[in-house]
Amino acid sequence: MKKLSILTIIMVLSLGTMYGQKNKQKDKTMSNQTEKVSYFLGAEVGTYYRTNKIEINSDKFTQGFVDALADKANFTEEEKQEIIAILQKMQQEAAQEMIKENKEIGRKFLEENKKNKDVKETASGLQYKVVKSSESGVSPKATDQVKVHYHGTLIDGTVFDSSVQRGQDITFGLNQVIRGWTEGLQLMKTGEKFIFYIPSDLAYGDQGAGQQIPGGTTLIFEVELFEVNPE
């Protein structure tokens, strides 16, 4: 419950600030560090609950904040555990709804994308587009090591990882990455560059990968294959 406790503290601070500034909704003037930090925390918490679609009654939360300052917000351990269980259920339901929405967004994108005459689709649902081809290159096997440059984005163009931007290529075992990469790079030859459109079930699935790649997310990778070496 450590994460919950930290989040709760931030929420209390931020909503206390909201309560004190009810009549200044558009006034973002900050006169000192405390006000700046308070407003920032309020914005962060508001964004968290908005993006995760968890409903919060700000009036009741503010009441709890004020009661806590007056040492009147007392709960038994049983009541705390009951409320925590409710909050966890709300978070889980919101997460599942977001995964469902992300999958639907990805499905619609891929359905439209495959209408492009340059885009091909495999039996697994992986889509790819050849940017640069090679007649003499070598294709890797799933057990090989490959050296590549890549540029990874969400379908809205948000960059989540890029060896190109870092200016440093990367070498890895082809059986050590997401399924979309393992399958896709075997379609390539050295010297070629492809764009892969990878549905979530061939990427990071419902689990996602950190905050940058939510569960159910379709990914786009531009990959250039430099070398193939046996494992």
Per-residue pLDDT reduced to its tens digit, 66-86: 788 788 877 888 988 998 898
Give the C-alpha separation, 159 to 162, whole Å. Answer: 7
Ranges of beta strands (E only) in 107-169 are: 119-121, 127-132, 145-154, 159-162
Per-residue pLDDT reduced to its tens digit, 212-231: 999 999 999 999 999 999 87
pLDDT for the residue 29 = 67
**Predicted TM-score (pTM) of this structure:** 0.72
Please provide the average confidence, as pLDDT, over all residues in the chain.
Answer: 85
Q: Which residues form the catalytic set?
A: 150, 160-161, 178, 204, 221
Query: What is the CATH code of the structural domain delimited by 118-229?
Result: 3.10.50.40
Q: What share of the chain is helix, strand, coil (3-state, %, to 5)?
A: 45, 20, 35
Residue with tokens 């997460």: 95
- Domain-wise residue ranges, the chain: 2-74, 118-229
Antiparallel, parallel or unpaired: β 159-162 and 119-121: unpaired
Angle at which helix 33-51 crosses helix 2-20, to 10 degrees, equals 120
Q: Are 166 and 203 in contact (CB under 8 A)?
A: no
Q: How confident is the model at residue 27 (pLDDT cuts 50, 70, 90)?
A: low
Residue with tokens 């006034």: 27
